[in-house]
């Protein structure tokens, strides 16, 4: 059987907020190592890779590997029935066709449970090669979200140019052009830091719509890491973490726009 107890059930709500725009349904793969999800959006432009480590759960038991196909809109409905600080237990019998979510209030005087039908999803997994990226940018996730939101007003594409000077985000459209430049800084407040690890300068162009969807994960982590190399997909990574627990990560891969 599978049983996983998450002290902060709100974490799963935030994870759902971070993937529900991109995916209608997805398989959660359970193993001894934890819960993993890998799925592409319908148009095969982006991929979500979620890893929640077994160690991040208060209790974690997975007797045999199983894949739980879930409709994410249904899962959102169920998670809406919980409070952010509820303790969440997810459980399923081997070969079951339902998964159960149990919510316990912090003081223990309210317990609710919801069964959700599982789906048979024929999901293809992609092998993602280990890559040394030419540019790795670490920046505050709120800043990333704001930049992407602001520039999306201009055009359907955003160019990200990374060089020794820093990072420049640009977008052009009917109303004009927007450029936002971030210098590397070493401000005393490390939370505001933008750090660039550069092997060679890279400029790539991406669809604004997907970057905006990725930015929905900003609630999971104060930092975001963008990794780029010429002519390969961008990686946008958010740690899934609180001050006292490292749950894992959510990574988004996004295919670049390429000159015709």
The residues that touch other proteins, with contacts defined as CB under 8 A, are 40, 43-47, 124-129, 157, 205, 207, 232-233, 253, 255-260
Q: Of the two residues 43 and 190, which places its CB atom closer to other proteins in the complex?
A: 43
Smallest distance, other proteins to C-beta of residue 175, A: 18
Name which of 146, 223, 151, 161 is nearest 192 in CA terms.
223
Q: Of the two residues 248 and 256, which places its CB atom closer to other proteins in the complex?
A: 256
- C-alpha torsion sign, points 56, 128, 170, 158: negative
| 229 CA to centre of own chain | 20
Q: What is the DSSP code (8-state) at residue 200?
A: S
Smallest distance, other proteins to C-beta of residue 163, A: 20
CA atoms of 182 and 16, how far apart (whole Å): 30
Helices of type H across 40-96: 72-80
Helix (H) or strand (E) holding 162: strand 157-163
Smallest distance, other proteins to C-beta of residue 234, A: 11
Q: Of the two residues 47 and 161, which places its CB atom closer to other proteins in the complex?
A: 47
Smallest distance, other proteins to C-beta of residue 158, A: 11
28 near 35, Cβ under 8 Å?
A: yes
Smallest distance, other proteins to C-beta of residue 168, A: 17
Q: Could you give the dihedral angle defined by the CA atoms of residues 68, 69, 70 and 72, in that order, rounded to the nearest 10 degrees? A: 120
Q: Of the two residues 46 and 225, which places its CB atom closer to other proteins in the complex?
A: 46
CA atoms of 40 and 51, how far apart (whole Å): 15
Q: Of the two residues 157 and 225, which places its CB atom closer to other proteins in the complex?
A: 157
Smallest distance, other proteins to C-beta of residue 51, A: 16
Q: Of the two residues 116 and 204, which places its CB atom closer to other proteins in the complex?
A: 204
Name which of 221, 222, 226 is nearest 237 in CA terms.
226
């Amino acid at each position: 059987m599978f049983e996983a107890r998450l002290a902060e059930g709100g974490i799963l709500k935030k994870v759902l907020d971070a993937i529900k725009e991109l995916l209608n349904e997805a398989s959660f793969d359970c193993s001894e190592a934890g819960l993993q999800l890998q799925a592409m959006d319908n148009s095969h432009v982006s991929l979500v890779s979620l890893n929640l480590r077994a160690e991040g759960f208060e209790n974690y038991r997975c007797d045999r590997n199983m894949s739980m196909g879930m409709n994410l809109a249904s899962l959102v409905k169920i998670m809406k029935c919980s409070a952010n600080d509820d303790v969440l237990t997810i459980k399923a019998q081997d070969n079951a066709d339902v998964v159960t979510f149990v919510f316990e209030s912090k003081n223990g005087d309210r317990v609710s449970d919801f069964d959700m039908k599982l789906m048979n999803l024929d999901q293809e997994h992609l092998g993602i090669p280990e890559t040394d990226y030419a540019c790795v940018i670490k920046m505050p996730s709120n800043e990333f979200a704001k930049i992407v939101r602001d520039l999306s007003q201009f055009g359907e594409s955003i160019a990200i140019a990374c060089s020794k000077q820093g990072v420049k985000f640009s977008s052009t459209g009917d109303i004009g052009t927007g450029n936002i430049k971030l210098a590397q800084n070493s401000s005393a407040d490390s939370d505001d830091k933008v750090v660039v690890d550069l092997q060679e300068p890279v400029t790539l162009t991406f669809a604004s719509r997907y970057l905006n969807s990725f930015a929905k994960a900003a609630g999971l982590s104060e930092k975001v890491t963008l990794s780029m190399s010429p002519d390969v997909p961008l990686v946008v990574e958010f740690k899934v973490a609180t001050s006292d627990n490292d749950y894992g990560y959510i990574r988004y891969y996004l295919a670049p726009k390429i000159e015709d």
